[in-house]
Amino acid sequence: MARPLKEKAPLTRFFAFKTTEEAGKVWDAKIAASKLSKSEFIRKVVEKNQTVIKSADPRISFLLAQQSNNINQIAHHLHSAKRAGTVSNHIYLNILEQLEIIATVAKNWRP
């Protein structure tokens, strides 16, 4: 993938490193998911300590959005109960059960 020249200064320095086959496969997957060139990805990781991962699978985005919504509803319920002074062991156990369901769904989900 050709890199459009975005930097103000020309890119003249070259760095290289070796890694194991296993680690290389992990890097390849992350780079592919990021939709960046290998050089762009490594510069983002090293220079800015960030990576941009764009999911190619919309089901992953859907699952994350659904789970985020569930967690937000749980937090809202707990906050409302606390403000009303009705927090009880029953509410805590119910919330813990809901969080365990969310964790189980996330762990068992396969694309």
Centre a 10 Å sphere on the Cβ of residue 31 and count the other Cβ atoms it contains.
19
| Residue 46, pLDDT above cutoff 80 | yes
Decide if 7 is inside a domain.
Answer: no
Q: What is the token pair recorded at 42?
A: 């490594």
Q: Do 95 and 74 contact (CB within 8 A), yes or no?
A: yes
103 and 83, same structural domain?
yes
Counting beta carbons within 10 angstroms of the beta carbon of residue 78, is it exposed (0 to 12), middle (13 to 18) or buried (19 or more)?
Answer: middle
Amino acid 20: pLDDT: 92
Range of the domain at 29: 15-54
User: Does the reported pTM lie above 0.85?
Assistant: no
64 and 36, same structural domain?
no
**Nearest-10 crossing angle of helices 89-108, 58-84:** 170
36 and 24, same structural domain?
yes
Looking at the 3D structure of the chain, how many domains does it have?
2
Phi, psi angles (nearest 5°) of residue 95: -65, -45
Decide if 2 is inside a domain.
Answer: no
104 and 67, same structural domain?
yes
Decide if 87 is inside a domain.
Answer: yes
58-89 pLDDT per residue, tens: 777 788 888 888 899 999 988 898 899 998 88
DSSP 109: -
Decide if 46 is inside a domain.
Answer: yes
88 and 49, same structural domain?
no
Q: How confident is the model at residue 5 (pLDDT cuts 50, 70, 90)?
A: very low
